[in-house]
Chains A and B, each alone.
Chain A
Amino acid sequence: AQSVTQLDSQVPVFEEAPVELRCNYSSSVSVYLFWYVQYPNQGLQLLLKYLSGSTLVKGINGFEAEFNKSQTSFHLRKPSVHISDTAEYFCAVRHSNAGGTSYGKLTFGQGTILTVHP
């Protein structure tokens, strides 16, 4: 079984400040890791993903995340946030050895609401 814990339910930050949204996961098998963003009244949009290779992953809108296997973490960072980054962010995991049967099954964390103040 897998689980995902997002350590902060809400993160307030001022515009142009850096931000880190924390994510820890638990799994008995190797996993793929994802960050999704959800704007109000919209579905989820993929920010970035870690499948293999370099542990530092760059995504859209200036976000990046670092996979740390020893700490089972996948924290999301942005060096300078904008008002438009205000949204809810979800960390998710999936078995890396999907075998064609579980590639549609993601396990999500509880979400972190990022609020950027002017």
Chain B
Amino acid sequence: DAGVTQSPTHLIKTRGQQVTLRCSPISGHKSVSWYQQVLGQGPQFIFQYYEKEERGRGNFPDRFSARQFPNYSSELNVNALLLGDSALYLCASSLLNGEKLFFGSGTQLSVL
């Protein structure tokens, strides 16, 4: 079975632009979570979605938004990019009550 897949793997944007990152969970997983990992730090929770509804939100500005589709895939959108948004963005999927998160390899976003 395929694992969690994220696209694109790398992305370069300039300040002020908007970006959309995509995630496909493991088949059968209905929950998707997004994390931001800045170089040298641990991942920080951004959002969790389950059954197309937001179930949790971390301490991120409103420039960050996400959604989940009927097939449980998800998109993370970031508007008005700042240099500080440069990071590895990780998507993780899990079963409804699963204690185990399965992570994708991430999207490396560079904001110039």
The A/B interface has a contact count, at CB < 8 Å, of 77
Instruction: State in angstroms the CA–CA spacing of A46 and B100 once bound together.
Output: 8
Q: Mark A26-67, 1 if CB is under 8 A from B, else 0.
A: 000000100010000111111001010000000000000000
- Say whether B44 faces chain A, with CB atoms less than 8 Å apart: yes
Q: Are B45 and A105 in contact (CB under 8 A)?
A: yes
A51 to B98, CA, bound (A): 11
Q: Is the CB of B48 within 8 A of A102?
A: yes
B49 shortest CB reach to chain A, Å: 8
Stretch at the interface among A12-20, A69-77, A79-87, A108-116: A108-116
Q: Is the CB–CB distance between A108 and B44 below 8 Å?
A: yes
Interface size on A, residues (CB 8 A): 28
User: How many B residues touch A, CB cutoff 8 Å?
Assistant: 30
Contacting pair A105 B48 (CB below 8 A): yes
Interface set of A (CB-CB < 8 Å, partner B): 4, 6, 32, 36, 41-46, 49, 51, 90, 92, 94, 98, 100-111
Q: List 15 A-B contacts (CB under 8 A).
A: A4-B42, A43-B92, A43-B103, A44-B43, A46-B102, A92-B42, A104-B31, A104-B45, A104-B48, A104-B50, A105-B45, A105-B58, A106-B43, A106-B101, A111-B40
